[in-house]
Structure 1
Amino acid sequence: MNIETADLWFVIIGLGLGSFGLRFVFTGLVGNRPLPPWLLRHLRYTAVAVLPGLVAPLVVWPAATGGSLDAPRMAAALVTLAVGYFLRNVIVAIVLGGVTLYGGLALLG
């Protein structure tokens, strides 16, 4: 797939301006004015909402297996979810999920 140079630069510049605009709204326009409590409450959930959207395709349709489910990745996802839910510790959940994935891949291939 070949993309014309002008089209590529148009997309790059457009994405750069959009990214700058999003950041400028919070840093330039809002500045050091206090945000309303309801907005701060919603902003706390941004990472919680974005992270599953980034991780779920890697678990359900992993490129390493040609897009099919496999046991090591599902086990690692379930361990991570269970540990995170019960212990409420993100670091421990990530480490145990990684250990489960590494061990599952070593055992099951």
Structure 2
Amino acid sequence: MQASDLTIWTIILVLGVGTYLIRWSFLGALGNRELPGWVLRMLRYTPVAVLPALVAPLVLWPEATGGAPDPARLAAAAATVAVGVLTRNVMLAILAGATTLFGLLYLLG
């Protein structure tokens, strides 16, 4: 299906305005107000919920393997979680996962 230039630019502008309004709703409308304690407690868990949601598909259904899980990515995810839980250090966890992934990809070919 071919779309005209006007249609494409209209979609781009509408999506741009929409994402701006979503961000403004938190920063502009609520930026100067004190949020209730329960909201602040819930917001602390946002990164903990978002990061696994971004990473899980890359581990379980990697495009590099045609969507099939492979031992290198599963082991790297396990190493990352283990080091993160044991040390509580994000950088060490990332380093452990990256080292495991690249090491196993090299060894397994």
Cα RMSD (Å): 1.4
Q: TM-score, normalised by structure 2?
A: 0.89
Equivalent in the alignment of 2:20 = 20
Q: Distance in 1 between matches of 2:68 and 2:24?
A: 41
Equivalent in the alignment of 1:89 = 89
Q: Distance in 2 between matches of 1:6 and 1:65?
A: 38
Equivalent in the alignment of 1:73 = 73
Count of residue pairs brought into register by the alignment: 108
Q: CA deviation at 1:7?
A: 3.7
Equivalent in the alignment of 2:62 = 62
Provide the secondary structure at the position in 1 that maps to 2:28: helix
- 1:100 has 2:100 as partner: yes
Q: Which runs of 5+ in 2 are unaligned?
A: none
Q: Distance in 1 between matches of 2:108 and 2:42?
A: 41
Relative CO higher for 1 or 2, CA cutoff 8 Å, sep ≥ 6? 1
Q: After superposing the two structures, state which structure 1 stretch, 28-37 or 66-75, moved more.
A: 28-37
Q: CA deviation at 1:52?
A: 0.8
Misfit runs of 4+, over 6 Å: none
